Every structure is written in structure tokens, then in C-alpha cells.
Amino acid sequence: MSKADFSPTITAHLAAEILNKTLANIQLPENARKIEEARENVGNEMLKMMQFVFPVIMQLQLDVVKEYGFSDTREGIIKFSQILRNLEREDSEVARLHGLIKAYYLPPISLHTGTDVMEEKNSGS
């Protein structure tokens, strides 16, 4: 079995530790500068955000997850992301921390519920 095929066992507690360490890595002055420069160049355009900001965040996360036994390749970050998706369903802290990381590369989205639409129609808008 190659290192790329190996996935370490990750508990919710360990996932939270990895996510906290990733957030700390993102917030280091030199990394925060890189992210800010990328964000200034893309504005609020989702496609550009995924082209320029997302890779920076993923590299910073990869730098952390490889310390926990994941491959330092694209496959390593994919395996970690799959584990996170499963853990997010079970642990609100993992979901919250992962959401904080995603907020760096996903532009804010305003969600309208069916109730919002009905209120707009009823108010004559």
C-alpha cells in the first residue's frame, strides 16, 4: 500500500485540532497577505475565487494535514475532505470550523427562503 492509498483514522476531536491548526496557518501574517492579495484581485466572482483563492487555502490546509499522516498530494486533501464531510454530520464543532475555512474562499451568499419570497409578494414588491 502506497502512502497515497493510506488514510489515517481521524476522530472528530482530531479533525477539530487539524482545522484549528489550519485556521492558525491561514492567519499567519505572510499567509493572510497572500490570501488578501488574491481576494482583492477576484472581487466577489465565484469562478475567480475558485481559481485564485481556493488553491492558496487548500495548500495551507495540505501543509497541515500532511503532518497527520495524509499524503502531501491532491489525493491527501481529497481524502481529508471526505472524512470531514462525514464528521461534519456528527459534530457541530467540526462543521463550524470547516465553515470558517470555507468562508475564506466562498463568497457570501444571501439565501432567500420561501417565506422571504412570500413576504415580498405580499408587500407589493
Q: How far apart are CA 48 and CA 114, in angstroms?
A: 30
Q: How confident is the model at residue 6 (pLDDT cuts 50, 70, 90)?
A: low
Residue 20 has pLDDT above 60, yes or no: yes
For Cα atoms 22, 27, 29, give the angle at the middle one, nearest 5 degrees: 135
Residue 111 in grid coordinates: 439565501
Task: Provide the pLDDT for residue 2.
Answer: 47
83 within 8 A of 7, measured Cβ to Cβ: yes
Rounded mean pLDDT of 65-91?
93
Query: How far is the CA of 7 from the CAs of 18, 56, 59, 88, 90, in angstroms?
Result: 14, 23, 18, 18, 19
Burial 53-75 (b: 16+ CB within 10 A, else e): bbebbbebbbebbbeeebbeeee
52 within 8 A of 34, measured Cβ to Cβ: no
Q: How far is CA 39 from the centre of its chain?
A: 15
pTM (global) more than 0.75: yes
Q: How far apart are CA 79 and CA 6, in angstroms?
A: 9
